[in-house]
Structure 1
Amino acid sequence: MDLVTIVDEQNNTYTFKRYQGYAFNKEAIGNVRDQLEKIAHREIRKDDVLVCVFPKAGTHWLYNTVRMLKSGSLKYHGTPTWMEFEDFNAIENMPSPRVFGSHMRFRFLPEQMKLGQGKVVTITRNPKDLVVSMYHMMSAMGDLGYKGTFEGFLRIFLSEECFMGNGTWFSWMKDLQEWKSPNCLVLSYQDFKQNTFENVKKLATFLEVDHEESFLRSVSENIQFNKIKESHNLSTPPNDRWKHITEDGRLPIYRKGQDGEWKTMFTVAQSEQFDKIYNEKVKELGLKINL
């Protein structure tokens, strides 16, 4: 495993871990190899649920929805325990039914999940909104791996050295598309926002949990963006794991949650270049994406 630092001509600085040609967040546990080995051979229980989402596509939103449905409780459940960022025993010692998270590409998920054990849920979002949200989050934190301008960050996001998803968003989506197991449910950020109750019902059916319609409607109300943001700010305790890169140990997860905010950040030239690469990658990788 190599710790790589790239400084471009505008003095933007990007630091990540590289393992076997893949980029990983520098906060990933240890030398990456050992953690990936443990993840690959992790014992998966039948009622396990993994929330595996590209960063800033709605991970915490989806995670808390899943937790409410699995627990039958409307309380805010905070931040997932991460496969790549937490000590291995943190998940091993969780009581069933376990719900945990990851931002990694699907190729790195546990072997038993690839064979259909447990369930995987994900949510997809317009990559232009993703990169804007991610840039603001990283700018609000300490040294998470990037210091510089949005222009420089956009270049990294469109390269295979993007640590957020072990490569570009396009490669991450390609892995998702090739996930053939029926144990995976894919939701849309925009549709989830516009048709929350219908998506909560779909998620409940997939998770095989039986709740009255009144409870599902209450879940839909409690995961509205402003409510869940307020809950995060009021009830999430400080976490020693993140104190070195945040002011109080709380990750700045929720910002605006809006669709189309990319229009406030992208220049016309940046948008045109992004669209050009987007169209090329979708064709090259055979992606079936409807944004």
Structure 2
Amino acid sequence: MELVSIVDEQNNKYRFKRYKGYPFNVEAIGNVRDQLEKIAHFDVKPDDVIVSVFPKSGTHWLYNTVMMLRSGSLKYSGTPTFLEFQEFKLIEEKESPRTFGSHMRFRFLPEQMKLGRGKVVTVTRNPKDTVVSMYKMLQAMGDIGYQGSFEGFLKIFVTEECFMGNGSWFSWIKDMEEWKSPNCLSLSYKDFKQNTFENVVKLAKFLEVDHDEDFLRSVSDSIQFNKLKESHNLTTPPSDRWKDISEDGRLPIYRKGEVGEWKKVITVAQSEQFDKLFKEKVEEFGLKIKTSFE
């Protein structure tokens, strides 16, 4: 593993761990290699679920939906146990039914999951909203890899040195699309927001949980963004794991959660450049994804 530090011509500062050519957030456990090996050989249980989402694309939203559906309770479940950020002992000791989180590319998920054991759920968000949300979160936290302007962060976001997702958004999506096992359900952030109940029903069917319509509608109501944000602020206890990079050990998970928020931050010129790059990358990677920038 290599610890990389970069200062560009505008004095924007990047810092991340690099392992076998892939960038990892500086908060990834240890030398990265050991954790990845443990994850790869993890003994997956048939009822294990991993919420695997590119950062700032709806991870906690989807995780709490999954938890409500699996538990039959409307209780807020907070932050998932992330495979790459938690000591492995805590991962192994988690009681069933287990639901984990991950921001890593799909290629780093457990080998047994790739063979169809357990389930994977993901949600895909407009990358313009994603990069804005990610930058705002980095601003609100301590030094976890980037200090500088939005323009500087936008430049690295589209490269394979984007440490938040082990490479660019495009390569992350490519990994997801190449996941051939039917044990993965992919949702759209925009559709989930606009048609919440329908997506809750779809998710419940995929997770093979049996609930009546009244409960599913209660879940749909309970996972509205403002309610999750309020629950997070009121009920999430301080965590020693995050105390050095966030206020009171509480991660600033929820900000606005809006569709199209990027229009208030990204300039016309930046947007046009991104659109051009997006088209090129979709063709280069052979992506099937269709993303509306509205």
TM-score category (smaller protein): over 0.9
Q: Following the alignment from structure 2 to structure 1, what is the Cα–Cα distance between the partners of residues 283 and 246? A: 40
Q: Following the alignment from structure 1 to structure 2, what is the Cα–Cα distance between the partners of residues 187 and 277? A: 24
CA offset at residue 247 of structure 1?
1.4
Q: Following the alignment from structure 1 to structure 2, what is the Cα–Cα distance between the partners of residues 284 and 232? A: 40
1:5 is matched with: 5
1:103 is matched with: 103
Q: Following the alignment from structure 1 to structure 2, what is the Cα–Cα distance between the partners of residues 205 and 232? A: 27
CA offset at residue 256 of structure 1?
0.4
2:155 is matched with: 155
- CA displacement 1:132-174 (0-9 Å, x = unmatched): 0000000000011100000000011011000111000000000
- CA displacement 1:89-142 (0-9 Å, x = unmatched): 112111110001000000000000000000000000000000000000000000
Q: Which amino acid aligns with 2:269?
A: A
Q: Which amino acid aligns with 1:105?
A: R
**Structure 2 residue ranges without an equivalent (≥5):** none
User: 1:3 aligns to what SS in structure 2?
Assistant: strand
2:251 matched to 1:251?
A: yes
Q: Which amino acid aligns with 1:158?
A: V
2:269 matched to 1:266?
A: no
2:208 is matched with: 208
Figure out how many residues of one structure are paired with residues of the other and give that number.
Answer: 291
CA offset at residue 268 of structure 1?
1.3
User: 2:82 aligns to what SS in structure 1?
Assistant: coil
User: 2:185 aligns to what SS in structure 1?
Assistant: strand
2:135 is matched with: 135
TM-score scaled by structure 2?
0.98
Q: Which amino acid aligns with 2:157?
A: F
- CA displacement 1:156-208 (0-9 Å, x = unmatched): 10110001110000000000000000000000000000000000000000000
The runs of at least 4 aligned residues of structure 1 exceeding 2 Å deviation read none
- CA displacement 1:222-269 (0-9 Å, x = unmatched): 000010100000000001000001110000000000011111111111
2:176 matched to 1:176?
A: yes
Residues 36-75 of structure 1: matches in 2 within 5 Å?
36-75=36-75
Q: Which amino acid aligns with 1:110?
A: P
Residues 212-291 of structure 1: matches in 2 within 5 Å?
212-291=212-291
CA offset at residue 79 of structure 1?
0.1
Q: Following the alignment from structure 1 to structure 2, what is the Cα–Cα distance between the partners of residues 88 and 42? A: 10
2:117 is matched with: 117
User: 1:172 aligns to what SS in structure 2?
Assistant: helix
Q: Which amino acid aligns with 1:28?
A: A
TM-score scaled by structure 1?
0.99
Q: Following the alignment from structure 2 to structure 1, what is the Cα–Cα distance between the partners of residues 98 and 158? A: 34
**Alpha-carbon RMSD:** 0.5
Q: Which amino acid aligns with 2:77?
A: H
Q: Which amino acid aligns with 1:183?
A: N
Q: Following the alignment from structure 2 to structure 1, what is the Cα–Cα distance between the partners of residues 247 and 67? A: 27
**Structure 1 residue ranges without an equivalent (≥5):** none
Q: Following the alignment from structure 1 to structure 2, what is the Cα–Cα distance between the partners of residues 95 and 247? A: 29
Q: Following the alignment from structure 1 to structure 2, what is the Cα–Cα distance between the partners of residues 144 and 75? A: 30
Q: Following the alignment from structure 1 to structure 2, what is the Cα–Cα distance between the partners of residues 154 and 5? A: 17
Q: Which amino acid aligns with 2:173?
A: M
